[in-house]
């Protein structure tokens, strides 16, 4: 399986082409309803290349011309009329968002977009999450950093139509022409101090029959909320404990439910030795075998934990029995597609590197969970799902119910990072509820979440580049990974839109690789290929705040530093000479000045710099790291210290910034992910299961590893449509940390995280029983 | 089934449940107080951090039988009342700096921060970088930078 990304000739390129917002009309509909309801189709694809203007020009790669963002955006076209905004009689503007909110700030961003175009106060816009709606097809996927990009224009179109209708309604009532009217703060104002709230005009502005409407959007200069810094619309709920996550919902008779899981991945229950005894335990109401293990339902989760621990289960099968880090690595190395040394002139220097990236957990702080109430002829599900229509279809099929009899409510998610693209936990809850004939509130234990949850697949990246007379002639990268599961809706989208994919007959994984990966430098003949080992069903895999980019970029940026060395240039100066487009060059320049590139630093500490281009955005990171022994060996209780990143500067250009405060938050969070995956966070595979079972084993960034200095610089708008932001900072920070580590220690790191093969810093929790008992000494530890 | 009585957010509560059930589940599953979150059940992630008699603790690791009837348990829901206001100064600081992302860890973060500052103030000390480094609460969204700033801002107002 290989994905070819052959360089191809291309005509002249330009930056992301403006969509013409403000210059031409956009189409929408006023829908027949008692109060005003407006709908609009989604944004079209932007087909435009990148300016290539330095060094030996690299022809645009496929993802420069048409990338994953375009595929996902085009996929929303046929159904997005169903994106609707309503004006209630009390003036509230309602929008039922067909996306998930998992902390990325999407509900705040879309409320800002509507409020700005419509001239209503932000707090008057109420955004709720849509149930699964099968008729929305692909337009109900949250992923690929695509949401703001794909919703930006349709939401503005709908809001503009709504505003015009309200103005027209007021003009008719007051018998004046519309050009005498203005709007602000949810009010239409006319001559002689007349005014009417949107709420009071909504019925008059409503349509009796669905009407097609053309509308012009506000010019960029008239936008005031878009681009400003706003706090999250759910911030108050979050700090008061009022924000409701799935397990906080009170669904009648949905009792706590947990699953006893296997000591190896994907093993099945052969027999349970003590079912009757466990059924008789305090609080326990039901115990039964489901496809992933033995489910237990009880009055409290504490009693579920007791019952799970008491169960004696014999297992059979397993998909990766006996596998360990070493055996998987051997298989990856065997599957690497050979590098092809292109014909290069004599005296050409070769720069090479081989890198290994171990398994990582994409677990959010909220573990996998779902509520299910399955009846004889219907089912109702509550879960945080990024592709709820896929969950709905799967559950309907599993339960042998018609689709319309399965209701799937999308709840607020306590993080996702790729996890909620899959609905496994919802399928499990539905299966348990059906088996028990009772509603269940099913939650995974943290230990299971690490050992049986989704992981970023282990992979290797091999690079060979050639240099002659200060120019890079060729750049080859071979990425080899454990197969990534794309059975969520992205896979369907790619299959159904295959005609548009470059290269023709690619697998879904290859297509995603081709659509997302690029080299932001002019490295001559550029060639990046993917191959995979295992089946995607062998390990539980998925993306983790990005799919391939963090690893591909880290390898690429480390080799970029080596190329700079080979031509005796500083990493910053080298990148400046080879960077492909003007947006990226501006990001780099800003990064150098804000981050004080090149400042004198003590031995054992260093700066690192990295660039990345994805989702129609540009991003750069400059970090400083301290690798001195006194820092690495600092005392941390029950945790991993290691090198400390002391400063992170992120410079980002997302084309159009919607909420600068939210964008800054996404950059800050992504940076913490990048530090973790470069230095500390990984899963150790041994005998078909991961050793990590606790946050004190799986070293995600903790306060003792947080840089004292974190700065985010947002570049002025460079396009007319927002690019992606949610995943941008993770990969580029990982790469910059790796580069800084290499420069501080004098040795290029080749294994990630860098501590993976150091002696294990913890004692693994037992595999049997599968989850640990809660301690009882909490009062002694009160502070 | 034994009855357990304690003071929860200023009110006396009684609940019939086995002695060994951890307080977190008594709060969440039986009393419907869902501010304290589950994130590990083994006193590691600190998402359930609440207060007992003014000190921070993790109810996931305390058996309900170990809570005395006079013990005052405060969850995020009861924090504002401890200062007789709509919001505690630490919550105000959180809002001002827009700390939360997904928000799942934030009740625990705020309760831990309040206890940390109380302890520092009792010792007549200010919050140091070492104090901030020592906060064990996980934030998987990675809003650590704003968390640090908010603890200092909240401390200045407490």
Q: pLDDT digits over A654-690, tens only?
A: 999 999 999 999 999 999 999 999 999 999 999 999 9
The answer on A458 and A414 residing in a single domain is no
pLDDT-derived band at A53 (thresholds 50, 70, 90) equals very low
Is the predicted pLDDT of residue A504 greater than 80, yes or no? no
**Residues A742, A608: one domain?**
yes
* Domain C-terminal end among A410, A443, A476: A443
pLDDT of A72 reads 65
pLDDT of residue A188: 98
pLDDT value for A490:
66
Query: For testing the chain B interface, which of A104, A297, A300, A694 should be mutated: the one with the most B CBs within 10 Å?
Result: A300
Query: Going by C-beta distance under 8 Å and a sequence separation of 6 or more, which residues neighbour residue A758?
Result: none
Q: Do A473 and A557 reside in the same domain of the chain?
A: yes
- A783/B61 CB distance under 8 A: no
Q: Does domain B3-75 have CATH number 3.30.830.10?
A: no
Say if residues A269 and A293 touch (Cβ distance below 8 Å). yes
A540 and A437 in a common domain: no
**A757 within some domain:** no
Helix (H) or strand (E) run with residue A7 in it: none
Q: How close, in Å, is residue B14 to chain A by CA atoms?
A: 16
Closest CA to A624 of A743, A781, A714: A743
What radius of gyration do chain B's Cα atoms show? 15
Same domain, A281 and A176: no
- Would you say A754 and A644 are in contact if contact means Cβ atoms under 8 Å apart? no
Whole-number pLDDT of residue A146: 84
Residue A5 lies in a domain: no
Q: Which of B34, B39, B134 sits opposite A446 (nearest CB)?
A: B39
**Domain span(s) for CATH 3.10.20.30 in chain B:** 3-75
Q: What DSSP string describes A733-770?
A: HHHHHHHHHHHHHSS---EESTTTTSPPSSPPPPSSSS
The verdict on A409 and A459 lying in the same domain is no
In this model, does residue A52 exceed pLDDT 60? no
Contacts of A299 in chain B (CB under 8 A): 17, 29-30
* Helix, coil or strand: residue A379: strand
- pLDDT on residue A357: 98
Mean pLDDT of the region A520-531 = 94
> Which of the four pLDDT bands, split at 50, 70 and 90, describes residue A49?
very low
Please compute the mean of the pLDDT values over residues A736-762 and round it to a whole number. 97
Q: Using CA atoms in the order A166, A167, A172, A175, what is the torsion angle rounded to 10 degrees?
A: 150
For residue B145, give the nearest of B81, B98, B95, B82 by alpha carbon: B98
pLDDT of residue A18: 36
pLDDT class for A493, splitting at 50, 70, 90?
A: low
The rounded distance, in Å, linking the Cα atoms of A777 and A145 is 43
> Which among A655, A546, A650, A640 has a CA at the least distance from the CA of A608?
A650
pLDDT in tens, A109-128: 999 999 999 999 999 999 99
pLDDT at A152: 92
The pLDDT, as a whole number, for residue A17 is 34
Mutate to test the interface with A, among B55, B140, B146, B150 (most CBs of A within 10 A): B140
d(CA A156, CA A114): 6
Interchain proximity B29–A301, CB inside 8 Å: yes
d(CA B58, CA A211): 58
- Numbered ranges of CATH 1.10.150.120 in chain B: 84-157
Residue A235 in this model has a pLDDT that exceeds 50? yes
B55 touches chain A (CB under 8 A): yes
- Indicate which CATH number applies to the domain containing A230: 3.30.365.10
C-alpha span between A138 and A390 (Å, rounded): 10
pLDDT of residue A201: 98
| Chain B residues whose beta carbon lies within 8 Å of the beta carbon of residue A672 | 142, 144
Same domain, A470 and A583: yes
Identify whether residues A409 and A549 lie together within a single domain: no
Share of chain A above pLDDT 70, in %: 89
Let me know whether A680 and A747 are in one domain: yes
Considering the domain boundaries, does residue A415 fall inside one? yes
Collapsing DSSP to helix, strand or coil, A19 comes out as coil
Q: What's the pLDDT score for residue A516?
A: 84
pLDDT of residue A719: 95
Burial A665-695 (b: 16+ CB within 10 A, else e): bbbbbbbbbbbbbbbbbbbbbbebbbbbbbb
Say if residue A517 is in the same domain as residue A487: yes
ipTM value > 0.95: yes
pLDDT above 90: percentage of residues in chain A: 78
User: In chain A, what residues touch B134 (CB-CB under 8 Å)?
Assistant: 703-704
A711/A655 same-domain check:
yes
Residue A326 lies in a domain: no
Is the pLDDT assigned to residue A189 strictly greater than 70?
A: yes
Sort strands A83-87 and A93-97 into parallel, antiparallel or unpaired.
antiparallel
| Residues in A touching B91 (Cβ below 8 Å) | 239-240
Counting every residue written for chain B, the total comes to 158
Q: Which whole number is the average pLDDT over B84-95?
A: 98
Given an 8 Å threshold on Cβ–Cβ distance, is B101 in contact with A103?
A: yes
pLDDT of A498 strictly over 80: no
Q: Which residues in chain B have Cβ-Cβ distances shorter than 8 Å to A283?
A: 18, 21
What is the rounded CA–CA span in Å between residue B131 and residue B136?
10
A339-390 tens-digit pLDDT: 987 777 888 999 999 999 999 999 999 999 999 999 999 999 999 999 998 8
In the predicted structure, residue A581 carries a pLDDT above the cut 90? yes
Residue of chain A minimizing CA distance to B118? A783
The average pLDDT across A140-157 equals 86
User: Which position has the higher pLDDT, A154 or A597?
Assistant: A597
Residue A67: pLDDT over 80: no
Containing domain of residue A41, as a range? 26-240
What pLDDT sits at residue A71?
65
With 0-12 CB in 10 A as exposed, 13-18 as middle and 19+ as buried, what is A173?
Answer: middle
Which residue in B17, B35, B61 is closest to A774 by CB distance?
B61
pLDDT, average across residues A532-559: 94
Selecting from B34, B42, B100 the residue whose C-beta is nearest the C-beta of A238 gives B100
**Is residue A39, in this structure, part of any structural domain at all?**
yes
Residue B63's DSSP bridge partners are B22
Mean pLDDT over residues A480-492, rounded?
Answer: 81
Q: Before A753, cis peptide (omega within 30)?
A: yes
Residue A135 has pLDDT above 90, yes or no: no
Structure tokens at A362: 């994409």
Q: For residue A68, what are its two tokens?
A: 């994953």
CB contact under 8 A, A365 and B102: yes
Q: Is residue A373 part of a domain?
A: yes
**Whether B98 and A248 lie within 8 Å, measured CB to CB:** no
Contact flag B102-A413 (C-beta cutoff 8 Å): yes
β-pairing, A255-260 with A440-443? parallel
* Closest Cβ opposite residue B104 in set A299, A366, A776: A366
Instruction: Identify the H or E element spanning A482.
Output: strand A471-482
A18 in a structural domain: no
- Please tell me whether residue B23 adopts helix, strand or coil conformation: helix
Percent with pLDDT over 90 in chain B: 100
- The pLDDT value recorded for residue A51 is 29
B4 contact A CB<8A: no
pLDDT at A50 over 60: no
CA nearest to A358, candidates A325, A380, A394, A384: A325
Phi, psi (degrees; rounded to nearest 5) at A651: -115, 125
Nearest chain A alpha carbon to B112: A783
CB-CB contact of A110 with A151 (8 Å): yes
Average pLDDT over residues B127-152: 98
| pLDDT digit string, tens, across residues B46-70 | 999 999 999 999 999 999 999 999 9
Q: For an interface test with B, which of A241, A439, A440 has the most B Cβ atoms less than 10 Å from its Cβ? A: A241
DSSP-derived letter for residue B29 is: I
The predicted pLDDT at position A496 comes to: 58
Query: Does residue A501 surpass a pLDDT of 60?
Result: no
Minimal Cα–Cα distance from A302 to chain B, Å? 6
Give me the pLDDT at residue A79, please: 53
Is residue A775 situated within a structural domain? no
State the count of interchain CB pairs (< 8 A) between A and B: 225
Sign of the dihedral through C-alpha A571, A577, A581, A587: positive
- Using CB atoms, pick whichever of B25, B61, B94 lies closest to residue A239: B94
Q: What pLDDT, on a 0 to 100 scale, did the predictor assign at position A23?
A: 40
Which of B102, B105, B117 best tests the A interface by mutation, with the highest count of A CBs <10 A?
B102
In chain B, residues with a C-beta closer than 8 Å to the C-beta of A418 are: none
Q: Phi and psi at residue A324, in whole multiples of 5°?
A: -140, 175
Average pLDDT for A131-145: 79
Interchain CB contact of B56 with A (< 8 Å): yes
Q: Measured between CB atoms, which of A639, A703, A710 is closest to B132?
A: A703
Domain topology for B84-157: DNA polymerase; domain 1 (1.10.150)
With cut-offs at 50, 70 and 90, classify the pLDDT of residue A266: very high
pLDDT band at A709 (very low <50, low <70, confident <90, very high): very high
Residues of A in contact with B107 (CB under 8 A): 239, 241
In terms of domains, do A286 and A423 share one?
Answer: yes
Determine what percent of chain A falls in helix, strand and coil, rounding each to the nearest 5. Answer: 35, 25, 45
Which phi and psi (to 5°) does residue B59 adopt?
-65, -15
* pTM for the predicted model, two decimal places: 0.93
Averaged pLDDT score across all residues of chain A: 90
How many folded domains does chain A comprise? 3
Window 100-129 of B, Cβ < 8 Å to A? 100-107, 110, 115-116, 119, 129
Mean pLDDT across the stretch A748-761? 97
Residues 6+ away with beta carbon under 8 Å from A446: A367, A693, A694, A695, B39, B40, B41, B42, B44, B45
Instruction: Name the band, by pLDDT with cuts 50, 70 and 90, for residue A505.
Output: low
Beta strand spans in A358-439 (E): 360-361, 369-374, 379-383, 406-410
Per-residue pLDDT at A30: 85
Determine whether the interchain pair A774/B42 forms a contact, defined as Cβ–Cβ distance below 8 Å.
yes
């Amino acid at each position: 399986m290989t994905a070819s990304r052959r360089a191809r000739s291309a005509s002249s390129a330009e930056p992301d082409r403006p969509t013409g917002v403000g210059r031409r009309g956009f189409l929408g509909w006023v829908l027949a309803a008692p109060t005003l309801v407006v709908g609009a189709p989604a944004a079209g694809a932007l087909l435009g290349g990148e300016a290539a203007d330095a060094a030996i020009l690299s022809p645009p790669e496929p993802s420069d011309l048409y990338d994953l963002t375009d595929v996902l955006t085009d996929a929303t076209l046929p159904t997005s009329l169903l994106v609707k905004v309503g004006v209630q009689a009390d003036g509230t503007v309602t929008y039922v968002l067909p996306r998930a909110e998992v902390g990325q700030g999407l509900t705040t961003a879309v409320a800002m977009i509507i409020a700005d175009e419509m001239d209503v106060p932000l707090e008057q816009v109420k955004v709720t999450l849509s149930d699964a709606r099968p008729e929305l097809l692909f337009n109900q996927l949250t992923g690929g950093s695509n949401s703001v990009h794909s919703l930006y224009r349709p939401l503005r179109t709908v809001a503009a139509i709504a505003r015009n209708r309200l103005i027209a309604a007021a003009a008719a009532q007051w018998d004046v022409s519309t050009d005498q009217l203005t709007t602000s703060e949810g009010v239409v104002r006319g001559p002689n101090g007349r005014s009417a709230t949107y709420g009071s005009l909504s019925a008059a502005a409503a349509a009796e029959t669905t009407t097609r409407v053309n509308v012009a959007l506000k010019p960029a200069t008239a936008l005031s909320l878009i681009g400003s810094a706003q706090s999250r619309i759910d911030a108050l709920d979050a700090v008061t404990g009022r924000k409701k996550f799935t397990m906080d919902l009170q669904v009648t008779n949905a009792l706590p439910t947990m699953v006893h899981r296997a000591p190896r991945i994907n093993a099945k229950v052969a027999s349970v030795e003590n079912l009757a005894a466990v059924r008789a335990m305090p609080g326990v109401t039901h115990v039964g075998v489901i496809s992933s293990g033995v489910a237990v339902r009880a009055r409290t989760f504490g009693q579920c934990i007791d019952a799970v621990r008491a169960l004696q289960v014999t297992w059979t099968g397993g998909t990766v029995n006996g596998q360990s880090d070493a055996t998987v690595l051997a298989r990856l190395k065997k599957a690497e597609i050979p590098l092809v040394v292109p014909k290069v002139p004599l005296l050409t220097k070769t720069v090479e590197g081989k890198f290994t990236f171990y398994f990582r957990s994409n677990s959010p702080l909220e573990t996998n969970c779902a509520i299910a109430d399955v009846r004889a002829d219907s089912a109702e599900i509550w879960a945080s799902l990024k592709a709820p229509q896929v969950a709905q279809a799967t559950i309907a099929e599993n339960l042998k119910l018609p689709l319309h009899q399965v209701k799937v409510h999308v709840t607020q998610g306590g993080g996702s990072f790729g996890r909620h693209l899959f609905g496994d936990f919802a399928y499990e809850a539905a299966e348990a509820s059906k088996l028990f004939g009772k509603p269940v509130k099913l939650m995974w234990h943290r230990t299971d979440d690490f050992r049986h949850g989704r992981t970023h697949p282990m992979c290797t990246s091999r690079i060979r580049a050639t240099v002659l007379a200060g120019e890079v002639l060729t750049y080859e990268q071979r990425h080899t990974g454990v197969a990534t599961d794309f059975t969520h809706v992205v896979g369907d989208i790619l299959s159904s839109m295959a005609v548009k994919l470059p290269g023709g007959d690619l697998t879904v994984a290859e297509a995603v690789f081709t659509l997302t990966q690029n080299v932001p430098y002019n490295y001559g003949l550029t060639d990046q290929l993917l191959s995979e080992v295992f089946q995607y069903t062998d390990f539980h895999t998925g993306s983790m705040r990005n799919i391939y980019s963090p690893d591909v970029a880290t390898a690429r940026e480390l080799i970029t530093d080596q190329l700079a060395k080979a031509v005796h240039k500083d990493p910053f100066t080298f990148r400046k000479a080879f960077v492909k487009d003007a947006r990226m060059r501006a990001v780099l320049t800003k990064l150098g000045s804000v981050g004080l590139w090149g400042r004198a630093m003590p031995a054992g500490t260093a700066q690192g710099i990295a660039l990345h281009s994805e989702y129609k955005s540009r991003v750069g990171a400059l970090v400083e790291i301290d690798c001195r022994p006194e820092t690495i060996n600092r005392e941390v209780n029950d945790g991993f210290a290691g090198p400390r990143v002391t400063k992170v500067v992120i410079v980002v250009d997302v084309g159009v910034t919607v909420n600068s405060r939210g964008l800054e938050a996404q950059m800050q969070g992504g940076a913490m992910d990048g530090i973790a995956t470069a230095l500390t966070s990984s899963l150790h595979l041994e005998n078909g299961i991961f050793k990590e079972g606790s946050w004190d084993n799986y070293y995600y960034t903790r306060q003792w590893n947080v840089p004292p200095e974190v700065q985010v610089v947002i570049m002025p708008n460079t396009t007319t449509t927002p690019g992606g932001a949610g995943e941008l900072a993770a990969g580029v920070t990982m790469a910059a940390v790796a580069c800084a580590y290499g420069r501080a220690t004098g040795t290029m790191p080749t294994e990630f995280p860098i501590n993976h093969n150091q002696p294990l810093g913890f004692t693994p929790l037992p595999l049997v029983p599968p989850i640990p008992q809660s301690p009882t000494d909490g009062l002694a530890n009160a502070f | 089934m034994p009855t357990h009585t304690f003071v929860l957010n200023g009110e006396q509560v009684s609940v019939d449940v086995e002695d060994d059930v951890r307080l977190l589940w008594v709060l969440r599953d039986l009393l419907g107080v869902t501010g304290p979150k589950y994130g590990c059940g083994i006193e590691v992630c600190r998402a359930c951090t609440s207060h007992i008699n003014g000190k921070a603790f993790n109810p996931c690791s305390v058996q309900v039988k170990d809570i005395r009837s006079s013990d005052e348990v405060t969850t995020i829901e009861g924090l504002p009342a401890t200062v007789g206001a709509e919001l505690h100064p630490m919550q105000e600081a959180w809002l001002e700096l827009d700390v939360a992302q997904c928000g799942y860890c934030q009740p625990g973060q705020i309760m831990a921060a309040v206890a940390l500052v109380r302890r520092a103030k009792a010792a007549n000390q200010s919050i140091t970088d070492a104090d901030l480094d020592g906060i064990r609460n996980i934030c998987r969204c990675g809003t650590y930078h704003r968390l640090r700033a908010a603890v200092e801002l909240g401390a200045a107002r407490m």
